[in-house]
Amino acid sequence: MGLKGTRTGRSVDPMMRSSFRTAFVQPEGRVGAHIIECVITGVNTSAWTVDVASKYDQLYYGDIQVASPYLHPNRGEGVYVLPEVGAKGMVCIPSDGPPPFLLCFIMPVEQTPLPPVPEGDETSAEDNQSNYTFAGGRTRGKPGDIIMRGRDGNFVALHRGGVLQVGSTELSQRLYIPLQNLIEDISQNYRHYNVGGTMSWGVRAGSPDDALETRCMQTMRLFADQKEATIRICKGTFEAMAEPEDGWQEDMAELGIGSEPIIYEVTVSPEGFSAEEGIPNAGAVEGTTLRFLFDKAGGAFLGARGSVMLGIKGKLKIVAEDDIYIESKKSITLKAGTTFRLEGGDALDLGGKVTKVNGGSKPVAHVGSQILITTTVPIPIVVGGTPGTITAGAVFSGSVSTGNPTIQV
């Protein structure tokens, strides 16, 4: 046994030496380092150390640290992984005395059966009964790919060509593609929270398995410090907003609007919606100030509690295959800058207690109207062969018997 501060030509068993460089039982200077295949048997999550046991010699090393591509003691800087029990790795016993550490990890060898040997193949059956692989379930990559993957399927992949792929499952991932600087999202359900509101898109909760309903819903706050949202936009399948008691539900039913599922709806309600779920708060229905929707059949509705203006610089043409009905609780004014035309086809029907033309105030007689005629000058007449005169100021009564039959009042 060498003494402290001396060297001997006798080899020193690295398994028995102290971890200190100049221990009593270890000579000064470097000796050969050793690499031993081990399996992790324990993990200390607070100290970031592991317990390992060697595969062949049944040696045990407790509370040793795990090497990393880079580490720095300043605030935990670095790239590191906390391994799990059962992982296989190589333990390094340094040459100059520091304690052992887990150097790296390796994959155990597996045997997979090969396809049956074709008849007439001269290759021995023994050489074709098994195939050795170190894949260990890893994702098959391309040369140059850098992949990090968890046991539960989450992954980060840096592909050759500059593509970055990040995901938790095949239906929950994002790809960054350098071609045209494209970001591509793949998901079954998507939800984004923002100070301005929330957006969710995907399969509607509670939909039957045999008919997966989808929905895209967005809520928006008017101010970031508000708790509730004021605007809700829904597309797809969803619970449509109800009309308030003084709303237009009867008119919508008369026209068949909403008889098919409503698939798009915009609602504005100062009473607010839950910003996360879009559920109307108490009073949101009665407090609705604007609602626009259309259903699967193409029926559309716009209900506004305020004034609505349609401003067009060009032409406006409205075409309907069926009736057009315009109703106002007060007056209706139609104004034309040059010419105003009404074409009634077979008939033009004007109804009202009093019909005025150019603001007139005098009544217009029609066929059958009773009239009185006052003479303004003497009128000579012959009655029974005897001549006579109707003096000025005389009044006659009668009725209109002729006129234009295409104008009726």
Question: Of 40, 14, 37, 41, which Cα lies nearest the Cα of 25?
Answer: 14
Q: What CATH number did the domain enclosing 46 receive?
A: 2.40.50.230
225 inside domain:
yes
128 inside domain:
no
pTM attached to this predicted model:
0.69
**What distance in Å separates the CA atoms of residue 176 and residue 164, rounded to the nearest whole number?**
5
160 inside domain:
yes
Average pLDDT on 46-74 reads 93
Does 183 share its domain with 225? no
168 inside domain:
yes
Taking only the tens place, the pLDDT of each residue in 135-157 is 888 888 899 999 999 989 999 99
Does 86 share its domain with 144? no
Question: Out of 1-15, 31-45, 158-172, 336-350, which region has the weakest mean confidence (pLDDT)?
Answer: 1-15
312 inside domain:
no
Distances (CA, A) of 113 to 121, 133, 134, 318, 409: 17, 11, 14, 74, 100
Question: Of 246, 244, 240, which Cα lies nearest the Cα of 258?
Answer: 240
**Non-local CB neighbours of 402 within 8 Å, separated by 6+ positions:** 367
**What distance in Å separates the CA atoms of residue 407 and residue 190, rounded to the nearest whole number?**
66
Can you point out the beta strands (E) in 170-227?
172-177, 182-187, 189-194, 197-203, 214-220
**Non-local CB neighbours of 400 within 8 Å, separated by 6+ positions:** 365, 366, 367, 368, 369, 371
Contact 23, 12 (CB under 8 A): no
Distances (CA, A) of 148 to 49, 76, 140, 251, 406: 21, 20, 12, 60, 88
Domain region containing 167: 138-187
Does 151 share its domain with 197? no
Does 269 share its domain with 293? yes
Does 198 share its domain with 175? no
pLDDT tops 50 at residue 110: yes
Does 44 share its domain with 151? no
pLDDT tops 70 at residue 59: yes
Taking only the tens place, the pLDDT of each residue in 80-107 is 999 999 999 999 999 888 899 999 999 9
* Vertex 374 angle, CA 370 and 377, to 5°: 150
Does 7 share its domain with 17? yes
Average pLDDT on 125-133 reads 64
Per-residue model confidence (pLDDT) at position 10: 45
Name the amino acid, one letter, at 65: Q
Number of domains making up the chain? 3
Does 209 share its domain with 243? yes
126 inside domain:
no
Average pLDDT on 345-369 reads 80
Burial of 313 (0-12, 13-18, 19+ CB in 10 A): exposed
pLDDT tops 60 at residue 3: no
